[in-house]
């Protein structure tokens, strides 16, 4: 035995309006969470690639007797590092992106 005064406001268009009022913010939260997770995943992947690349270039610099210049450009700016055959750093330049 339901109370008719509680059922009446949620029937018809009232229920639809309530569903839309709840669905909008929930969809926004889901979208924001997915964007956050995507951005976090991209940053981790870029960091792993950079670390792997630098490890390979360091091995290359240690193997030879020549100076190796590493120039890296990304959205943060540009970095230049000169390594000799013994893994010592000769010059470092760091410029931020404009």
Alpha helix segments (H runs only) across the chain: 4-7, 13-63
pLDDT digits (tens, 9 = 90+) for 38-51: 999 999 998 888 88
Domain that residue 68 falls in: 4-96
Q: How many CA atoms lie within 13 A of 19 on its CB side?
A: 7
Quote the number of domains for the chain: 1
pLDDT digits (tens, 9 = 90+) for 32-87: 999 999 999 999 998 888 888 878 877 776 776 677 777 777 777 777 877 766 55
pLDDT given at position 36: 96
């Amino acid at each position: 035995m339901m109370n008719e005064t509680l059922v009446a406001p949620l029937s018809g268009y009232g229920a639809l309006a309530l569903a839309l009022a709840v669905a909008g913010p929930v969809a926004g939260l889901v979208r924001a969470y997915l964007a956050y997770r995507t951005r976090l995943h991209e940053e981790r992947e870029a960091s792993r690639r950079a670390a792997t690349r630098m490890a390979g270039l360091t091995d290359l610099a240690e193997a030879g007797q020549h100076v190796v210049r590493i120039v890296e450009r990304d959205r943060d700016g540009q970095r230049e590092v000169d390594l000799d055959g013994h893994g010592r750093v000769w010059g470092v330049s760091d410029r931020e992106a404009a």
